[in-house]
Structure 1
Amino acid sequence: MKKAEPDPNLSTAGRRTPPAPGHESLRAAAEELAVKALIFLAADEDRIRRFSDISGLCLENLRAAAESPNFLAGVLDYLAGDESLLLAFAANSSIDPAQVQRAQAILSPLSEA
């Protein structure tokens, strides 16, 4: 059983500490990657329809939903959950698939708790 890692955003007194320097730019880069992933999904009718069906969103409100960081985390969760889709996106974007996982961790609501 893996030992739980301490929350780096909590001080020893249990108070939240400010994010590490560069956190804002990491978050912005993660959001940008998630938007690129959404554009990749939207470029193919079957891909975006499947995403829409699974997310429960209709195509008309995807744009509004994309404003939410939690939605962007969900896009990366969806992508990471389908290895062939993840590899296709990574190849299309000329990135390492591990970048999606790193961005996913940055945007995850659990990483903010």
Structure 2
Amino acid sequence: MSMQKSQKNQESAEALAVQALAFVASDPELLPRFLAITGIEAQQIRRAAQEPGFLAGVLHFILAHEPTLLRFSQEAGIAPGEVGIAALPLGNDDHERSS
């Protein structure tokens, strides 16, 4: 895969993850569950979104619950499988791997 295509995939995956984050943040049932799972507070979301791996975590949160995945996919106008595909380039944050 060319570097340009890889960069484009990364950018579209990030855009989808940002859309997923907005979806979660606007849902009064999903947001508290997301915050509890991630251990962050609502006012920390903007800063956390800049951290490597956070956006991939948002997509994995969506993927972990099929009804949520289906609702998000419908709202985003994409196939549910595209969420899983988008999570892959975002999950490559191996520079912070613990030993």
* Number of the residue aligned with 1:29: 12
In the alignment, is residue 44 of structure 1 matched against residue 27 of structure 2?
A: yes
Q: How does 1:40-79 map to 2 (within 5 A)?
A: 40-79=23-62
- Indicate conservation of the 8 Å contact 1:72/1:107, yes or no: yes
Q: More relative contact order in 1 or in 2 (CA 8 Å, sep 6+)? A: 2
Structure 1 or 2, whichever has the larger Rg, is 1
Conserved 8 A contact 1:33-1:103: yes
| Contact 1:105–1:111, Cα closer than 8 Å, also in 2 | no
Runs (4 or more) in structure 1 with deviation over 3 Å come to: 110-113
Match of 2:71 in 1: 88
Unmatched runs of 5 consecutive residues or more in structure 2: none
Count residues with an aligned counterpart.
96
- Tell me by how many angstroms 1:111 deviates: 7.6
Matches within 5 A, 1:4-15: none
The alpha-carbon deviation at position 68 of structure 1 amounts to 2.1
Give 2:87's aligned amino acid. Q
In the superposition, the TM-score normalised over structure 2's length comes to 0.87
More helix by share: 2
User: Aligned-pair distance for 1:29?
Assistant: 0.3
- Which amino acid in structure 1 is aligned with residue 57 of structure 2? G
- Which residue type is aligned with residue 103 of structure 1? A
AA aligned opposite 1:75: V
Tell me the residue number matched to 1:106.
Answer: 89
Query: Offset of 1:21 from its aligned partner?
Result: 3.3
